[in-house]
């Protein structure tokens, strides 16, 4: 494999792209942050001046970008990747929703460019350690072209030929993950108000049937120490939840629990600002229960 492109060097993209450097002849990277580009160049990649520059130089380009609107412009815009002369396959690692995946597949297909949607789950640690769960949709032959590289990022799961199949699976995954955070916050708030030790509560939950991704990982790492620095923004969680609810409404699938999660995330952002970590949902629940969310321990 010769030159591979990577667009988007945020907290996830920087770690994922770094894992690809040793597995391609040349990794070209671009981001609106000059510092982010310089960082990956220092690890052995080459910088590209623009998204189109990646498309001009690379047959395969990966994306890791924050919102559907940014993905759309970065791919299909006049200076997007698809305007490049060499690109033949674009793989979107972002959580940008099934509708956009379908739009990209149609728009890229007109240009003879294959499209694979492959959103990831596992957070910054998973991106750094190569343990992400990767949910891929799109033509199987295109998926097979990128599968060896996806395997450097984690464990890929092929969800089918339908554009957006990977995105749908990611939205379902996020619903369960965020619901676990919300319901764990409620249970923990009740126990703490009753005088139970929160660390012992987590120990018990993880030994019993109440164990979930929040009790195993998020509470020990970010909530019990009151650091709330797990590394995933509440704003992005809200974006993902809104994508889920929009898709569910179009499919006529009721999502009452999803709506509760959306409300909690909205309250978290309103209370703690746009830079809030998604684990700060716990503080919103605690405050509603009459606890001091700014307490220590």
Percent of the chain with pLDDT over 90: 97
Over 70: is that where the pLDDT of 146 sits?
yes
Over 90: is that where the pLDDT of 296 sits?
no
pLDDT for 1: 58
Percent of the chain with pLDDT over 70: 100
Residues 19, 79, single domain; the answer is: yes
| Contact assessment for residue 45 and residue 16, using Cβ atoms and an 8 Å cutoff | no
Residues 243, 142, single domain; the answer is: no
Residues 137, 18, single domain; the answer is: yes
Q: Is residue 297 part of a domain?
A: no
Q: Is residue 294 part of a domain?
A: no
Residues 173, 118, single domain; the answer is: no
Domain boundary among 138, 162, 186: 162
Tens digits of residue pLDDT in 188-218: 999 999 999 999 999 999 999 999 999 999 9
> What residues does 136 pair with on adjacent strands?
158
Residues 148, 19, single domain; the answer is: yes
Over 70: is that where the pLDDT of 77 sits?
yes
Listed in sequence order, the residues at least 6 apart from 22 whose beta carbon sits closer than 8 Å to its beta carbon are 44
Over 90: is that where the pLDDT of 67 sits?
yes
Residues 75, 185, single domain; the answer is: no
Q: Is residue 195 part of a domain?
A: yes
Confidence of residue 174 (pLDDT cuts 50, 70, 90): very high
Over 70: is that where the pLDDT of 173 sits?
yes
Q: How far apart are CA 208 and CA 210, in angstroms?
A: 6
Q: In the block, which residue shows the tokens 């949902």? A: 281
Tens digits of residue pLDDT in 233-287: 999 999 999 999 999 999 999 999 999 999 999 999 999 999 999 999 999 999 9
* Token pair in block for residue 192: 């703490």
Domain count, the chain: 2
pLDDT for 297: 72
> Residue 19 is part of which domain span?
3-162
Task: Please list the active-site residues.
Answer: 170
Q: What is the pTM of this model?
A: 0.92
| Contact assessment for residue 84 and residue 111, using Cβ atoms and an 8 Å cutoff | no
Over 70: is that where the pLDDT of 16 sits?
yes
SS3 of 161, please? coil
133 phi/psi in degrees, rounded to 5: -90, 130
Q: Are strands 60-63 and 3-7 parallel, antiparallel or unpaired?
A: parallel
Sort 294 into a burial class: Cβ within 10 Å, 0-12 / 13-18 / 19+: exposed
Residues 8, 153, single domain; the answer is: yes
Q: Is residue 151 part of a domain?
A: yes
Domain boundary among 125, 142, 162: 162
Q: Is residue 222 part of a domain?
A: yes
Residues 31, 154, single domain; the answer is: yes
pLDDT for 130: 97
For residue 203, what is the domain's CATH number? 1.10.1040.10
Q: Is residue 184 part of a domain?
A: yes
For residue 101, what is the domain's CATH number? 3.40.50.720
pLDDT for 18: 97
């Amino acid at each position: 494999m010769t030159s591979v492109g990577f667009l988007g060097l945020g907290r996830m993209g920087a770690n994922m792209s770094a894992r690809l450097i040793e597995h391609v002849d040349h990794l070209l990277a671009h981001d609106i942050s000059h510092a982010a580009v310089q960082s990956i160049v220092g690890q052995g990649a080459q910088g590209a001046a623009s998204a189109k520059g990646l498309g001009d130089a690379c047959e395969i380009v990966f994306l890791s970008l924050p919102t559907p609107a940014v993905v759309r412009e970065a791919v299909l815009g006049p200076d997007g990747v698809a305007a490049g002369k060499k690109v033949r396959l674009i793989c979107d690692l972002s959580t940008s929703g099934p509708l956009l995946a379908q739009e990209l597949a149609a728009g890229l297909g007109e240009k003879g460019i294959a499209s694979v949607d492959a959103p990831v789950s596992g957070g910054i640690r998973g991106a750094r350690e190569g343990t992400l769960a990767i949910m891929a949709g799109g033509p199987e032959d295109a998926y097979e072209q990128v599968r060896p590289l996806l395997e450097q990022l984690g464990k890929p799961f092929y969800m089918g030929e339908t554009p957006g199949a990977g995105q749908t699976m990611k939205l379902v995954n996020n619903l369960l993950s965020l619901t676990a955070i919300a319901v764990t916050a409620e249970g923990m708030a009740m126990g703490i108000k009753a005088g139970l030790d929160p660390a012992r509560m987590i120990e018990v939950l993880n030994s019993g049937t109440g164990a979930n991704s929040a009790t195993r990982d998020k509470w020990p790492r970010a909530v019990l120490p009151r650091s709330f620095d797990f590394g995933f923004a509440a704003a992005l969680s809200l974006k993902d939840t809104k994508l889920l609810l929009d898709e569910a409404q179009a499919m006529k699938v009721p999502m009452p629990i999803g709506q509760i999660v959306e409300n909690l995330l909205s309250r978290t952002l309103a209370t703690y600002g746009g830079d809030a970590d998604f684990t700060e949902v716990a503080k919103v629940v605690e405050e509603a229960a009459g606890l001091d969310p700014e307490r220590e321990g």
